[in-house]
């Protein structure tokens, strides 16, 4: 009996150990990647359902290492959040996205906004708005061409602080979208106080849009958005049926594999140029 217990303990310890080692490896890899510039930004088009026009895109980080290949954001972002490395990654992504967008605006490749994800950790930075101001100044991008995606979890962490920061960002003309809406806990009374422009309907709801409950959920979100004068964008739209449903429910725009997966800067400008023809 004692032996079995001992083994269990050993096993548990080994598992914990493996995880800790993995985390440390990724932390080191991120540090190396930041030094060697292994973080790239990909862009996923957002399309208006009314005009069928490209209205912007979401910037999504890609960690491309020479030895281990592509490492998914779902793997390294949570670790970077904990270690604080997400702050440096966030700066890199924002700077690259602003540089690319400025170039595309100047060339007439795209109008509208590039949407950049902000992590919870970035949102706690006391100098967040100054950092963003500096990057905009440095790259020459107008704040009107920038949107920030903030998750429900992030704003509900400290709603009072969130409201203050959000007002500072809005004053500059930056648009704000609430990401993964409906998956967290934000109460309707708070939602009204956040100076938002857009609600992003999470892919989980789009996946369920074939069911009555799923449809009712999306309908509710769109209705809430309309009452608060917010626009809606649905993410993860993969099929024509999903697109048709989003159209019938008066969702404003969609993003997903139906139109395009996230594209490298080069591929994206080709995509946008084709749309313009
Ligand atoms: P998210 O912000 O909800 O981003 C949407 C995710 O859904 C992206 O995954 C995108 O590639 C994926 N997606 C879009 N359309 C479809 C579709 O039609 N089908 C399917 N199956 N997936 C679709 P990705 O790029 O792997 O990013 C995962 C998450 O990592 C993001 O979720 C976001 O939370 C985080 N993330 C990505 N880039 C950044 C970044 O630059 N900064 C921060 N803080 N987080 C980021
Ligand atoms: Ca997002
Ligand atoms: Ca999302
Ligand atoms: Ca999501």
Enumerate the H helices of the chain as residue ranges: 2-36, 73-83, 86-107, 120-123, 128-139, 152-157, 159-171, 188-191, 203-207, 212-227, 240-248, 265-276
pLDDT for 186 equals: 66
CA 20, 24, 29, 31 torsion-angle sign: positive
> Exposed/middle/buried for 240, CB within 10 Å: 0-12, 13-18, 19+?
exposed
CA distance 7 to 115: 50
Kindly identify the ligand whose nearest atom is closest to the C-alpha of 236: 1
Which of 73, 81, 85, 154 maximizes ligand 1 atoms within 8 Å of its Cβ, making it the mutation to test the pocket? 73
Q: Is 41 left (phi over 0), alpha (psi -120 to 50) or beta?
A: beta
Ligand 2 (ion): which residues have CB within 5 A? 117, 149, 179
Contacts of 242 (CB under 8 A, 6+ apart): 206, 209, 234, 256, 258
How many angstroms separate the alpha carbon of residue 201 from the centre of ligand 4? 8
Reading the chain (277 residues) residue by residue, the pLDDT tens digits are 555 556 666 666 777 788 888 999 999 999 999 999 999 999 999 999 999 999 999 999 999 999 999 999 999 999 999 999 999 999 999 999 999 999 999 999 999 999 999 999 999 999 999 999 999 999 999 999 999 999 988 998 888 999 999 999 999 999 999 998 887 766 777 889 999 999 999 999 999 988 999 999 999 999 999 999 999 999 999 999 999 999 999 999 999 999 999 999 999 999 999 988 8
pLDDT for 271 equals: 97
Q: Does the ipTM surpass 0.90? A: yes
Ligand 3 (ion): which residues have CB within 5 A? 179-180, 235
How many angstroms separate the alpha carbon of residue 271 from the centre of ligand 4? 23
How many angstroms separate the alpha carbon of residue 68 from the centre of ligand 2? 25
Give Cα separations from 204 to 98, 209, 210 (angstroms): 29, 9, 12
Closest CA to 156 of 178, 173, 175, 174: 178
CA distance 44 to 263: 6
The closest-lying atom of ligand 1 relative to the alpha carbon of residue 149 is: 2
Q: Are 116 and 149 in contact (CB under 8 A)?
A: yes
CA distance 4 to 69: 40
Give the residue whose CA is nearest to atom 24 of ligand 1. Answer: 73
How many angstroms separate the alpha carbon of residue 181 from the centre of ligand 4? 9
Q: Are 237 and 258 in contact (CB under 8 A)?
A: yes
How many angstroms separate the alpha carbon of residue 137 from the centre of ligand 4? 30
The DSSP call for residue 263 is B
Helix, strand, or coil (residue 56)? strand
∠ CA(197), CA(198), CA(203), 5° rounding? 165
How many angstroms separate the alpha carbon of residue 6 from the centre of ligand 3? 44
For 89-125, the pLDDT digits (tens) are 999 999 999 999 999 999 999 999 999 999 999 999 9
How many angstroms separate the alpha carbon of residue 257 from the centre of ligand 4? 14
CA distance 273 to 277: 7
Ligand 1 neighbours by CB, cut-off 6 Å: 44, 60-61, 72-74, 77, 90, 93, 117, 119, 179-180, 203, 235-238, 256-257, 262
pLDDT for 184 equals: 73
Kindly identify the ligand whose nearest atom is closest to the C-alpha of 88: 1
CA distance 118 to 256: 20
């Amino acid at each position: 009996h004692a032996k079995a217990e001992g083994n269990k303990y050993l096993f548990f310890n080994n598992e914990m150990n493996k995880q800790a080692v993995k985390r440390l490896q990724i932390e080191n890899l991120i540090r190396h990647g930041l030094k060697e510039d292994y973080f790239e930004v990909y862009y996923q088009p957002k399309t208006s359902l009314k005009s069928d026009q490209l209205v912007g895109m979401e910037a999504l980080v890609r960690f491309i290492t020479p030895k281990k290949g592509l490492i998914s954001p779902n793997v390294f972002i949570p670790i970077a959040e904990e270690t604080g490395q997400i702050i440096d990654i966030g700066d890199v992504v924002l700077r690259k996205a602003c540089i690319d967008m400025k170039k595309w605006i100047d060339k007439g490749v795209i109008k509208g906004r590039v949407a950049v994800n902000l992590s919870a950790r970035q949102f706690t930075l006391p100098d967040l708005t100054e950092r963003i101001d500096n990057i905009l100044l440095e790259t020459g991008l107008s704040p009107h061409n920038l949107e920030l995606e903030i998750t429900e979890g992030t704003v509900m962490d400290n709603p009072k602080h969130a409201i203050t920061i959000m007002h500072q960002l809005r004053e500059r003309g930056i648009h704000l979208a609430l990401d993964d809406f409906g998956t967290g806990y934000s109460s309707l009374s708070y939602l009204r106080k956040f100076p938002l422009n857009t609600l992003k309907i999470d892919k989980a709801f789009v996946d369920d849009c074939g069911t009555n409950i799923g449809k009712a959920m999306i309908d509710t979100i769109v209705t809430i958005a309309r009452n608060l004068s917010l626009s809606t964008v649905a993410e993860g739209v993969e099929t024509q049926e999903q697109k048709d449903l989003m159209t019938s429910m008066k969702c404003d725009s969609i993003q997903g594999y139906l139109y395009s997966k996230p594209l490298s800067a080069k591929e994206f400008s080709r995509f946008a140029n084709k749309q313009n023809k």
